[in-house]
Structure 1
Amino acid sequence: VEEDLLAAAEPVAEQSGERKVGRNDPCPCGSGKKYKQCHGRIA
């Protein structure tokens, strides 16, 4: 179970390779949050 939580906290690689995710775009991880509020945060 801990492995799943740690995997969810890691940044998601861009799926298409060339497409950049904007700060206000939905996060590609599927959380439904904006990228800046999810994986776009500075650790």
Structure 2
Amino acid sequence: MKKIMAVAELSCAEGETIYNMPFDVDSDKVFAAIMAADQLGREWLY
């Protein structure tokens, strides 16, 4: 999980295009979205 959080933090670095989203974004929200997408993908595969 540490590596996933590191990715989430890097995606929220200053100047990243993630800030073009029409809502506030932070690394916790990105982490939660990654985890939710992973879970949905796993459910779909199995």
Name which structure has the greater RCO, CA cutoff 8 Å, separation 6+: 2
Q: Which has the larger radius of gyration?
A: 2
Q: Same fold (TM over 0.5)?
A: no
Q: More helix per residue: 1 or 2?
A: 2
Q: Which TM-score applies when normalising by structure 1?
A: 0.28
